[in-house]
Amino acid sequence: MKYIAQPQVSEEEISLVAQTIRSKSFVEGENARTLEKEFAKFVGAKHAICTVNGTAALHLALEGLNIPPGAEVITSAFTFIASANAICFGGGIPIFADINPSSFNIDPEKIKPLINPKTKCLMPVHIFGLPADMKAILDIAEDNNLTIIEDACQAHGSRIDGKHSGTFGDIGCFSFYATKNMISGEGGMVVTNNDELAERIRSLKNHGRGPSGGYHHHIIAYNFRLADPLAAIGLIQLRKLPKMLEQRQKNAEMIRSTIKELDSLRVQVIPTGITHGHYVCAPVIENPRFSVDEVIKRLNNLGIGARRIYSVPCHQQPTYLDGIKHWRWNEFVNYPDYSNVNLPVTEKISRSHFEVPIHPGVNSEEIVVIQNALKEIFS
């Protein structure tokens, strides 16, 4: 409870990593292939392609779909900066749509007015592990001939009517960063049901090689391969994921039940049919009488690792207010003046939320301590 996240690793991970190193398997190999196979099965996708991290997964997705320089990709600003930055890598332009006040996810109604001939792709982010409104987003994409990349980097285990996040659009991207629902330290995964796309992404992540490898290179490409000792960690973590998700859900439900009793706090609403991945539990303070900083200080003083997360949304980050003017693509691409972007819901939630620990290393007694602390502060 002292830490907001804590990797749950045990002798099983250590043993497979040791075995992998003893067999001198350092580069992407057998563990990575097994991880891909089992991950594809877990999410219900035809292909899973492991990568060096979630940011690289998004980069590969955009390049795999041939999003050209100057194309606009609509996403949320209430997310980790990597969602937006990945769009910029190949000269794409991040266009930020406001979020829905109940889900904190991109609001489909706010996407529609932003669509113009330069729009090529929608990138919903399943924030904190709650799936975005994929039905509405799929309809918008179909009506406007747009591709969809799902940023599911926080959404392992989350589902809509039983279908896993990341499998609705053309491509889904996951992160195995050390704080995530399952980890490999650094690592990520691209999932798709499209055979051609899968083959192109496999080549893009491996120096433009074809399936048989070797020294024939077909496209300008990257090295985004995942080292096999890290894939070993990912593989064991994936097998433990259902159990870890269970504990996350239990912890989150306890905190959510307390928040429901407190008028000054609210959390993401989980509609019927939706399974939340419970990566993050982030209450929003509704009452101006309470300061976020003061609340975090009081929780920290009780040994609870509360903190702010996206208090500065992407469009208000120095990266987009100023840094973008010095970005290499700025010479060739017309970025909007992000200081003119107004996202009232995003900005309000950014300012008023904080995170409390729900990771599987927190036990029920510790959750009771967090519940009591919230009750004492907000009653």
Ligand X SMILES: Cc1ncc(COP(=O)(O)O)c(C=O)c1O
Q: Which two tokens stand for residue 90?
A: 């190949």
Interaction with ligand X in 217-236: which residues (CB under 6 A)? none
Tell the smallest beta-carbon distance from residue 297 to ligand X (Å): 25
Q: Angle at CA 212, nearest 5°, toward 52 and 37?
A: 50
Nearer to ligand X, 79 or 247 (CB): 79
Tell the smallest beta-carbon distance from residue 338 to ligand X (Å): 19
Nearer to ligand X, 132 or 324 (CB): 132
Interaction with ligand X in 65-104: which residues (CB under 6 A)? 79-80, 82-83
Interaction with ligand X in 14-53: which residues (CB under 6 A)? 53
Half-sphere exposure of 84 (CA within 13 A, CB side): 21
Interaction with ligand X in 233-262: which residues (CB under 6 A)? none
Q: How far apart are CA 257 and CA 375, in angstroms?
A: 11
Tell the smallest beta-carbon distance from residue 316 to ligand X (Å): 17
Residue whose CB is nearest to ligand X in the complex, by number:
54
Tell the smallest beta-carbon distance from residue 163 to ligand X (Å): 20
Tell the smallest beta-carbon distance from residue 212 to ligand X (Å): 29
Q: How far apart are CA 191 and CA 193, in angstroms?
A: 7
Tell the smallest beta-carbon distance from residue 165 to ligand X (Å): 11
Whether the Cβ atoms of residue 96 and residue 240 lie closer than 8 Å to each other: no
Report the amino acid identity of residue 47: H
Q: How far apart are CA 149 and CA 277, in angstroms?
A: 18
Strands (DSSP E) contained in 178-226 are 188-192
Residues touching ligand X: how many (CB under 6 A)?
14
Among candidate residues 126, 190, 179, 133, the one with its CA nearest the CA of residue 157: 126
Q: Side by side, which strands form the sheet with 188-192?
A: 47-51, 188-192, 171-175, 147-151, 119-123, 72-76, 93-97
Q: How far apart are CA 319 and CA 306, in angstroms?
A: 26
Tell the smallest beta-carbon distance from residue 204 to ligand X (Å): 16
Nearer to ligand X, 185 or 360 (CB): 185
Q: Kind and range of the H or E element at 330?
A: none
Q: What is the DSSP letter of 226?
A: P
Nearer to ligand X, 29 or 188 (CB): 188
Tell the smallest beta-carbon distance from residue 82 to ligand X (Å): 4
Nearer to ligand X, 153 or 204 (CB): 153
Tell the smallest beta-carbon distance from residue 302 to ligand X (Å): 27
Interaction with ligand X in 131-190: which residues (CB under 6 A)? 151, 153-154, 175, 177, 188
Determine which residue in the list 28, 36, 40, 54 makes contact with ligand X, applying CB under 6 A: 54
Nearer to ligand X, 280 or 373 (CB): 280
Q: Angle at CA 233, nearest 5°, toward 188 and 62?
A: 5
Nearer to ligand X, 55 or 352 (CB): 55
Distant-in-sequence, close-in-space partners of 190: CB < 8 Å, separation ≥ 6: 47, 48, 49, 51, 57, 60, 61, 64, 171, 172, 173, 174, 201
**Per-residue x/- track, 185-214, ligand X (CB under 6 A):** ---x--------------------------
Q: How far apart are CA 89 and CA 56, in angstroms?
A: 10
Among candidate residues 235, 236, 356, the one with its CA nearest the CA of residue 295: 356
Residues contributing to the site for ligand X (CB under 6 A): 53-55, 79-80, 82-83, 125, 151, 153-154, 175, 177, 188
